[in-house]
Amino acid sequence: MNWDDFATHAKDVADWGADYHKTIRDRPVRAQTAPGDVSSQLPDSPPEDGTDMANIMADFEKVVMPGITHWQHPRFFAYFNSNAAPASVLAEFVASIIAPQCMLWQTSPAATEMETRMLDWLRQGLGLPDGYQGVIQDSASSATLAAVLTMRERALNWQGNVQGLSGQPVLRIYCSDQVHTSIDRAIWVAGIGQDNLVKIRSTGDLRGLDPIALQDAITRDRAAGFVPAGIIAATGATGMGACDDLDAVANIAKAENLFTHLDAAWAGTAMICPEFRPLWQGAERFDSIVFNPHKWLGAQFDCAAHFLRDPDVLRQTLAIRPEYLKTHAQGDIIDYSEWSIPLGRRFRALKLWFLMRSYGMEGLRSRIRNHVTWSQALCERLRALPEFQIVTDPILSLWTFKPAGASDEDTQALVEAINTDGRIYLTQTLVDGVKVIRFTAGQFDCEERDFDTAFDTITEIARR
Ligand SMILES: *Cc1c(COP(=O)(O)O)cnc(C)c1O
């Protein structure tokens, strides 16, 4: 394959991609395959001789496509959506062709300067104040790990990286019992240990952490000789969309001199709409905030926007400058690899530029508003039927329900039956120990009719 062949095949792939998306509603959302179906069709060893692209594409259709769960399906109502708007896909294609490494300003001046500006566009879009600076991390998990390492180093006076953790005081980090597992894993990887992640009980309609219990835990820990290092709050946690009272958390953090990190991986996108911002009232007081444009906003995976009030504490934690990375560039430049754990970095700012320019902020807002409106309307339609129980009310487009009076086994059986039907895709979660069905909407191109199909599918299969 050479670059002349590339041009021909790339046009074919573009046609294939447009057709895939235009007919995607005809496919079952979840792959209807059994374990081993795909691997049994793949040869055990790599080929010795090359073959042409037409053969490879034919096998791709035959072997791979039946084993795909269609994340870009408009009736994907499971997990959280991981969108890939067509404008962002084009940007990724272009970025793959240039394939730059964006670790230093000098290795990719355009990517670096675009990253700074795109994150500032997003900051303005979210209504965050001037003064935050942003970096694109590969995932929210990485941003949270970077924030936890910063909490650790700040609390240990930057000695953890130098001396290691043995012999250091035992650090404590606080969060609610609703947070995503990426918080636990950041704590493990940072060497702080699960026992020192203190989970505060969540309360109230928004299932935020109880601030009085948070203050008590910190006071008790100090008395016991632990060193509190930081608080991680959530806006739109994964299970049911829990939102902490960020002002209350920020007040405690200020009084206790703790570093604060906000995980708004999913719900952050909704903050481009001013009417949803009360959910994260107080966010502008946090030291570190992450949200994933690769979820609801429409940027192709991967793209996590990480905002910092003072990037110097992050740089002090992560930057390392061996001679071979010194560029001796003059002037006011940023080397973004000093802000993140991996050295090599993809050109991710380009897809944000294509995305925001192609749809405009108003175009993006109207999609988010539609998703929330249609999802909440579906919730009300089910609430009106005696055979369903709404377990947690909508937070943005996320809510949970179950068949009234159903056992956990019956609820799980309904989820399985719905997903095997294929018209829609849902997942289950636990609320106060009870199994419930979780509904969330946010596929970039979903339409109101997709929610009618969801209503029909859920009611038909539940009645069966
Ligand atoms: C999706 C999600 C994450 C993890 O995001 P990655 O980018 O996959 O690491 C973390 N927190 C919340 C609340 C999420 O919804």
Question: How far does the centroid of ligand 1 lie from the alpha carbon of residue 141, in Å?
Answer: 6
Identify the pLDDT of residue 352: 98
Tokens of 248: 């209350």
Output the 3-class SS for the chain: CCHHHHHHHHHHHHHHHHHHHHCHHHCCCCCCCCCCCCHHHCCCCCCCCCCCHHHHHHHHHHHHHHHCCCCCCCCECCCCCCCCCHHHHHHHHHHHHHCCCCCCCCCCHHHHHHHHHHHHHHHHHHCCCCCCEEEEECCHHHHHHHHHHHHHHHHCCCCHHHHCCCCCCCEEEEEECCCCHHHHHHHHHCCCCHHHEEEECEECCCCEECHHHHHHHHHHHHHCCCEEEEEEEEECCCCCCCECCHHHHHHHHHHHCCEEEEECCCHHHHHHCHHHHHHHCCHHHCCEEEECHHHHHCCCCCCEEEEECCHHHHHHHHCCCCHHHCCCCCCCCCCHHHHCCCCCCCCCHHHHHHHHHHHHHHHHHHHHHHHHHHHHHHHHHHHCCCCEEEEEEEECCEEEEEECCCCHHHHHHHHHHHHHHCCCECEEEEECCEEEEEEECCCCCCCHHHHHHHHHHHHHHHHC
Check if 300 has its Cβ closer than 6 Å to any atom of ligand 1: no
Check if 238 has its Cβ closer than 6 Å to any atom of ligand 1: yes
Q: Which atom of ligand 1 is nearest to the CA of 143?
A: 9
d(CA 297, CA 354): 12
Which residue has its alpha carbon closest to ligand 1 atom 2?
A: 265
Question: Cβ contacts of residue 220 below 8 Å, gap of 6+?
Answer: none
Check if 235 has its Cβ closer than 6 Å to any atom of ligand 1: no
- In testing the pocket of ligand 1, which one of 137, 181, 182 has its CB within 8 Å of the most ligand atoms? 182
Structural domains of the chain ordered from first start: 3-71 (1.20.1340.10), 101-346 (3.40.640.10), 361-463 (3.90.1150.10)
Check if 263 has its Cβ closer than 6 Å to any atom of ligand 1: yes
Identify the pLDDT of residue 321: 77
Question: How far does the centroid of ligand 1 lie from the alpha carbon of residue 349, in Å?
Answer: 19
Q: Which atom of ligand 1 is nearest to the CA of 237?
A: 13
Q: Return the half-sphere exposure (C-beta side, CA atoms, 13 A cut-off) of residue 305.
A: 35
Check if 140 has its Cβ closer than 6 Å to any atom of ligand 1: yes
Report the residue count for the chain.
464
Contact at 8 Å (CB) between 22 and 74?
Answer: no
- In testing the pocket of ligand 1, which one of 263, 297, 301, 440 has its CB within 8 Å of the most ligand atoms? 263
Give start and end residues of each alpha helix (H) in 85-190: 86-98, 109-126, 140-155, 160-163, 181-189
Q: Which atom of ligand 1 is nearest to the CA of 141?
A: 9
Check if 139 has its Cβ closer than 6 Å to any atom of ligand 1: yes
Q: Which atom of ligand 1 is nearest to the CA of 236?
A: 13
Identify the pLDDT of residue 124: 98
Average pLDDT, 10 consecutive residues per value, the chain (464 residues): 94 96 96 94 96 94 96 97 97 96 92 97 97 96 98 96 94 96 97 97 94 98 98 96 97 98 98 98 98 97 97 91 70 88 95 98 98 98 97 97 96 96 96 96 97 97 92
d(CA 461, CA 415): 10
Which residue has its alpha carbon closest to ligand 1 atom 13?
A: 237
d(CA 202, CA 435): 18
Check if 81 has its Cβ closer than 6 Å to any atom of ligand 1: no
Question: How far does the centroid of ligand 1 lie from the alpha carbon of residue 315, in Å?
Answer: 23
Question: How far does the centroid of ligand 1 lie from the alpha carbon of residue 144, in Å?
Answer: 9
In 220-344, beta strands by DSSP E? 227-234, 259-263, 288-291, 304-308
Question: How far does the centroid of ligand 1 lie from the alpha carbon of residue 454, in Å?
Answer: 25
Which residue is associated with the tokens 């079952």?
A: 28
Question: How far does the centroid of ligand 1 lie from the alpha carbon of residue 324, in Å?
Answer: 34
Q: Which atom of ligand 1 is nearest to the CA of 294?
A: 7
d(CA 451, CA 99): 39
Tokens of 387: 């055979």
Tokens of 447: 């339409």
Question: How far does the centroid of ligand 1 lie from the alpha carbon of residue 120, in Å?
Answer: 21
CA distances from 158 to 162, 165, 226 (A): 7, 11, 17
Q: Which atom of ligand 1 is nearest to the CA of 142?
A: 9
In 204-258, beta strands by DSSP E? 208-209, 227-234
Identify the pLDDT of residue 322: 73
Q: Which atom of ligand 1 is nearest to the CA of 302?
A: 7
Question: How far does the centroid of ligand 1 lie from the alpha carbon of residue 16, in Å?
Answer: 30
- In testing the pocket of ligand 1, which one of 136, 141, 185 has its CB within 8 Å of the most ligand atoms? 141
Question: How far does the centroid of ligand 1 lie from the alpha carbon of residue 330, in Å?
Answer: 37
Contact at 8 Å (CB) between 347 and 102?
Answer: yes
Check if 159 has its Cβ closer than 6 Å to any atom of ligand 1: no
How many C-beta neighbours within 10 Å does residue 34 have? 9
Check if 266 has its Cβ closer than 6 Å to any atom of ligand 1: yes
Amino acid at residue number 105: W
